[in-house]
Structure 1
Amino acid sequence: MRDEAGRTVGAVFLAPPADRYGLFVEVGTRPHFPPPAALLGWVQSRLGISNDRQARQVAFLIARKIAREGTPGRFLFQQALEESEQRIVAIFEEEVAQIGMQA
């Protein structure tokens, strides 16, 4: 994530298998042609296409669309942080107050 000045202000660590694609889901991608074979498992599981030939055709069409338009970002981590920020700050403030009382 970046602040208003464009500086990195946080980090997210992803465990496998999300470490291979999580960043691209979060921020999206520019237009590029991904290998259709890389989309095959997603096409079969998410779209329920079990016929191999049809799955390859759909994977190619999706790859072609990504080549034209890229992929939009979902910004799930950013949304989660924004929704939780006040609570996170409150937790830190509570802990700092506890440390202050113990000193």
Structure 2
Amino acid sequence: MVDRIKHNAPVLVIGLGRFGAATAGQLDRLGREVLAIDTDAALVGKWADRVTHTVQADARSIEALRQLGAEDFSIAVVAVGSSIEASVLITAN
């Protein structure tokens, strides 16, 4: 049986470009806890007061993701590159 993901589960957003920032902002407005990660310090600073948590990190590094606790998230939005269709990943832990 597949575990259901809680409707208020925290969301990991990787990338704070247009799609990632819009997604993180909307999730925050909906009352969701958000951890947003980007390599760009300016974007991380811009969103620091807009979402629950922001971190400057390279999400291509498995070690960085482990240190941030990425494996504890049931929902992740990977908003990097140009394919929006490839940006949503939902897993059941």
Q: Same fold (TM over 0.5)?
A: no
Structure showing greater radius of gyration is 1
More strand by share: 2
TM-score interval w.r.t. the shorter chain? under 0.3
More helix by share: 1
TM-score (norm 2): 0.23
TM-score (norm 1): 0.22
